[in-house]
Amino acid sequence: MINKTELQQQLAALGAGYRQQLAHELPELLQLLNEPLSDRLRQQLEQRLHKIAGSAGTFGHAELGEQARTLELQCREQDNLSLLHKHLKYGIGHMQRLLDSTQSDQPATPKTPELPGSVMSAASHRIALLVPNNALSAQIGNTLGSFGYQVHLAEQIPVAGDDQQPDYDALIIDLDPLPDARATLQQLAQQQPTQPLPLLAISSDNSFELQLLAVRAGASGFFSKPVDLTALENRLENSLNSHQQSPARVLVVDDDEQLATRYLTVLSAAGMRCEHLQDPTLLLHTMHRFQPDVVLMDINMPSVNGAELARLIRLHDSWLRVPVIYLSAESDSTRQLAALLQAGDDFISKPISDQRLLTSVTARVQRARSISQALSRDSLTGLLKHADIKEQIGLECERALRQQQPLSLIMLDIDHFKRVNDTYGHAAGDNVIRGLANLLRQRLRKLDRIGRYGGEEFVALLPNCAANDAATVIDDIRQSFSQLLFSGPEGTFQCSFSAGIACCAAPDWDATELLERADQQLYAAKHAGRNRVILEQR
């Protein structure tokens, strides 16, 4: 991700290039008006003025763009060709004068958009722990350490300066020992950066006033004592995931290369992965290859319009969740609504400021990801649902076959789970399930696939991983899980799980058979006394 200075330099260079293009474009339009105005010429002028109207404001020439829009509408609505010819000649001449009035060495450039914080790696999160109570500090440290976090004890609130990033990814603070907890929270609220890092607060005072101060300080979690450590870890993980999401993937479909380049520059500077597509015939191929989170679509393009392309995208079930945002200089509200009815999700009129572009795309990506997760993820654990993990097993088996790489599948089941529900209640049982899900997510790789197969049973799919390596990894997770403390009405308790592992390697690549073999090993682990991992011997 580039910094603001570098972005400003890139935008200035693009602005200079656009001004140079206008310096050639406007004399060409005036030259065309030396000929008698025909319907064909009027249509050509309308198209070229439409393009200028949609792009000039983005590059800092707002007044010139408005003049182009006025002339575009006159081309569309004025039937008197003689009168239209006079309006066009005067109007384009006025556009030329507006351009000449800007200094070529200082092209007009809109304000640099506010960029979000950099996307950080999800591995080995650094947690600052400001908890003076040694017993509570040790409990939190041990629990978070089991989940793979790097916990650092802090003697005071670590606050970064305006020009540097803090050396931690989240802060957990116990408010009770502070001389004045309310003053501390007010101080934190005043020192919040543009992109505050996750803050979790702990206190024996759960009053509305203190929780409100915590919210104003940027807290994403508030826990009363005694602290439910599993719930604290779950909130911490959710906060980190929302703060450090993977980069958004944005596909820009626009025949205006300069304008698209500006969009890509602004969005890429914000950490997004972007691609530009000029040839509409490559849309389906690009959608398959790039898998965008959102599509920015120009409506008016040669030989095809954006609404038609949006409908083409909606023919495919796998892309129904991908938002399509129309970008167009079209000012007719009736036409805008008609385009939205044809498979679009939003309509943004050109010109669009850099900040609005960034905000609109970010909001759409967040909403699309939330909807996608709600549809494909288990609500309790956030893991893939039964049908989705089975689909992933089939896909990964096909990939392993093509690449001739090993693939390990692990089935896990929490031991004596019914006893947990009967003894401590279903709420405590849900905490156990959520705790194991979080532990699997933290300790396995990003490329691994994890699903809740049903009830207290889980499936983990490890691509390019030999069976012995998978056994080592999952046994380490088993030991960490058995050390976790869960809270119930009757006090704290611990749990364990059993696991069975099967591996496919040439020539065996059948997904259904792989599941059955892993299930057989899980049954063997249960029969052998539970709390163990059994690997099939082949």
Active site residues: 456
For 351, left (φ over 0), alpha (ψ -120 to 50), or beta? Answer: beta
Rounded CA-CA distance 396/392 in Å is 6
DSSP 8-state assignment for residue 377: B
- The burial of 331, by beta-carbon neighbours within 10 Å (0-12 exposed, 13-18 middle, 19 or more buried), is given as middle
- Structural tokens at position 19: 């001004």
State the DSSP H helix or E strand holding residue 360, giving kind and residue range, or none if neither: helix 354-376
Rounded CA-CA distance 145/22 in Å is 60
φ, ψ of residue 310 in degrees (nearest 5)? -65, -40
Does the bond joining 226 to the residue before it have cis omega, within 30 degrees of 0? yes
Radius of gyration (Cα) for the chain, nearest Å?
29
For residue 205, what are the contacts with CB-CB under 8 A and spacing of at least 6?
Answer: 175, 176, 181
Rounded CA-CA distance 70/340 in Å is 24
- The burial of 97, by beta-carbon neighbours within 10 Å (0-12 exposed, 13-18 middle, 19 or more buried), is given as exposed
Q: Which residue from 312, 311, 305, 296 is spatially nearest to 249, judged by alpha carbons?
A: 296
State the DSSP H helix or E strand holding residue 314, giving kind and residue range, or none if neither: helix 306-314
For residue 451, what are the contacts with CB-CB under 8 A and spacing of at least 6?
Answer: 378, 383, 384, 385, 386, 388, 389, 390, 392, 458, 459, 460, 461
Rounded CA-CA distance 233/146 in Å is 10
Q: Name the β-bridge partners of 408.
A: 462, 503
The CB-based long-range contact list for 367-374 (8 Å cut-off, 24+ gap) reads 367/323, 368/293, 368/294, 368/321, 368/322, 368/323, 369/245, 369/293, 371/321, 372/321
Cα–Cα separations (whole angstroms), residue 254 to 48, 285, 296, 339: 15, 16, 8, 16
For residue 11, what are the contacts with CB-CB under 8 A and spacing of at least 6?
Answer: 109, 110, 112, 262, 265, 266, 354
Rounded CA-CA distance 260/215 in Å is 39
Give ∠ CA 510-513-516 in degrees, rounded to 5. 150
Rounded CA-CA distance 441/362 in Å is 25
Residue 31: CA count within 13 A, CB half-sphere: 5
Q: Which residue from 321, 325, 320 is spatially nearest to 361, judged by alpha carbons?
A: 325
